[in-house]
Amino acid sequence: MAEPNELVSLIESRLDRKVFMEHHWVGTFWDYLELCEQNPAVLRNAYQRMFDAILASGWEKYKLFKKECVRYHFFSDPFEDGRDGIYGLDFALMSLVDFFRSAAEGYGTDKRILLLHGPVGSSKSTIARLLKKGIEHYSKTPEGALYSFSWLLDDRCEVSPMEGNPHQARRDHAFPSPMHEDPLVLIPKNARDALVERFSASYKAQHRGGGLRVYGEPDPFSRKLYEDLMSFYDGDWKKVMDHVQVRRIVLSEKDRVGIGTFQPKDEKNQDSTELTGDINYRKIAQYGSDSDPRAFNFDGELNIANRGICEFIEVLKLDVAFLYDLLGASQEHTIKPKKFAQTYIDEVILGHTNEPEYKRLQSNEMMEAFRDRTIKIDIPYNIRLDDEIKIYQKDFGPHRIRNIHIAPHTLEVAAMWAVLTRLEEPKKAGLTLMQKMKLYNGKSIPGFTEDSVKELKEEAPREGMVGISPRYVQDKISNSLVKPQALAEHTVNPFMVLNELEGGLTHHSLITDEELKKRYKELLSVVKDEYEDIIKGEVQRAISADEEAIKRLCANYIENVRAYTQKEKVVNKYTGRDEEPDERLMRAIEDKIDIPENRKDDFRQEIMNYIGALALDNKKFEYNTNARLYKALELKLFEDSRDTIKLKNLVSSVIDDETQQKIDVVKQRLIKQFGYNDASATDVLNYVASIFARGDSKSA
């Protein structure tokens, strides 16, 4: 049993007191002015901070669909090891970052509400959560440091003279700025503008060109105390500033500092004071009036989110009166607390909504002003298979699911179906929906180029805005994991998940169109066919993975091709006689990779030229050196081995010992090379055997 001191040491070793002190730095107003001169970045506004926070995590450039694309690491959630990581959606996220870039430069988008729009389960809430999480993390770093202030007065938050010194007000207690304002707002505007201009001259933005701007006036609470102190000191501003204690703040949603979240309730119970604060009735007796700002709680979501971000969940479900508050908050950067003047705010206003709500907004003429103040960014579903697979691997990968084996391709087929439901049927002749999905995923298909993929994208601009939600797929995978069969066998296979996906469609609450349900079920059949091809290919490779056999077949083929191209004969190793090259063997191999009769001479010469080029570089030709020939050899060996293994006999009740040994070897290869366990490898072999038993000769 661990000693108490040992446990305490374990805790303390993971705490950093130095960082704590940095986050709780306290100084005078004059200290802050020096700090601003040394590091003007502390004066950035909310949009500039958000943009810099995104770019602080780094990015990488790549090409997708013939377009320059940027992947911002911020959206991979480096703050919690990828817990809220976004996969795919790079084009949508680039539009989002462009919005923040424009707002940071002050080009006008800083006066708009950012509206994330997309189908249910398309990561809108996750993106909002990442933005809040990211700006909070950034405010903890030295580069993202920001500051607010407290007023030092007596214990009643009043200006009262010190005992024995009637010309000096008491400074016993600290009263924080309720809206976490920048201390520079306490400088009169004319002087402040000159000061900020001086700081801007030495400010070098790392990722943009926008200068520094400190707008607005103190909130009513700070304005009241400022005026009282100015009266007490007969207008001596410097003495007033001696009552200001500057402190570093760390944005925090839990502490309601700089990050707010508002979720609509029943329309009859909505109250605008939730956004802009309300009267503190207990303090009216103390201060004598409900219009005294000290008797008001500036704790509405828009108040506490000042200097950071305010998220509106399902923003279009808000009552119209609430939306009016957002008009001024976005365009003029002001809010109107009850009984007080317009109050300046500096924050990102973010909302998200789904398609039906947005269509209702478009048809509502009363909401024209709101529509005019929003910038909509579409957040679609993934249409690239690899990105969709990553979503399910995050929740159902081996790092999360340890007691049940998820057979290879289980998550892949679920993702495949989900992506297919989001794609539009291609207009190009001879192109199937499955092939279109593969093209989007970067696979090469003869006859189609990158330009073809670009054309496919352009002819279907709304792809990803409809289809099956990842949540539905996740729910059905979860169902599969707790089924009696899965618990008994400790294995979940693709067919179990596909059956769950199909069964759930009958009662899917969001799909009421019977034709759509029928289409989705047809797509499940398409996915099953594709899965059959995949596992037949794997079984084929496992059967033909006898390295010595494939080496012998390769050597035999090369010897015959050499003799054929040089018009020589081959020595028969059994009879010792010279014979013509084995045309039947060569064609049997070449047919496997669709080399036509009239191209066989060219292909054989290419192989010999290839071997010669390797020899010049002192490299040896191996059976797996040439990818096309290797595939042909595998297919030929599989065809030869299939009958000797008698795979079809697996479906019978009697298997001889020799066949069983060969099947066990194949099973071990499936386990070692493809990630199956014993149960799932047996299932795959049985299923592929049943295909051969019914005479299905479709090539993998």
Could you list the beta-strand ranges (E) of 170-313. 173-176, 244-249, 259-262, 278-279, 296-297, 309-312
Where exactly are the structural domains of the chain?
13-40+144-249, 44-140+260-269+306-380, 385-530, 554-626
- Is residue 147 within 8 A of residue 42, CB to CB? The reply is yes
**Segment 312-349, tens digit of pLDDT:** 998 888 877 777 788 889 999 999 998 899 999 999 99
Calpha distance 371→115 (Å, rounded): 10
What is the C-alpha to C-alpha distance for residues 23 and 36, in angstroms, rounded to an integer? 17
pLDDT tens digits, 98-136: 999 999 999 999 999 999 999 998 999 999 999 999 999
CATH label, 44-140+260-269+306-380, candidates 3.40.50.300, 3.40.50.970, 3.40.50.2300, 3.30.530.20: 3.40.50.300
Cα 40 to chain centroid distance, Å, stands at 33
Q: So what's the pLDDT on residue 485?
A: 87
The rounded average pLDDT for each run of 10 residues, N- to C-terminus, in the chain (700 residues) is 72 84 95 95 96 96 84 95 92 96 93 94 94 97 96 95 92 96 95 92 83 91 96 96 97 96 74 87 90 94 96 85 84 92 95 87 80 92 95 89 91 97 89 93 82 87 92 94 88 94 85 87 95 88 77 88 90 80 90 88 89 86 81 80 58 63 84 90 86 55
- Residue (of 43, 47, 46) closest to 35 by Cα position: 43
Extract long-range pairs of 222-228: CB within 8 Å, 24+ residues apart. 222/151, 222/177, 222/181, 222/185, 222/186, 223/293, 224/292, 224/293, 224/294, 225/151, 225/153, 225/157, 225/159, 225/175, 226/186, 228/158, 228/159
Burial group, residue 647, by CB count within 10 angstroms (0-12, 13-18, 19+): buried
Torsion of CA 303, 304, 310, 312, to 10 degrees: -70
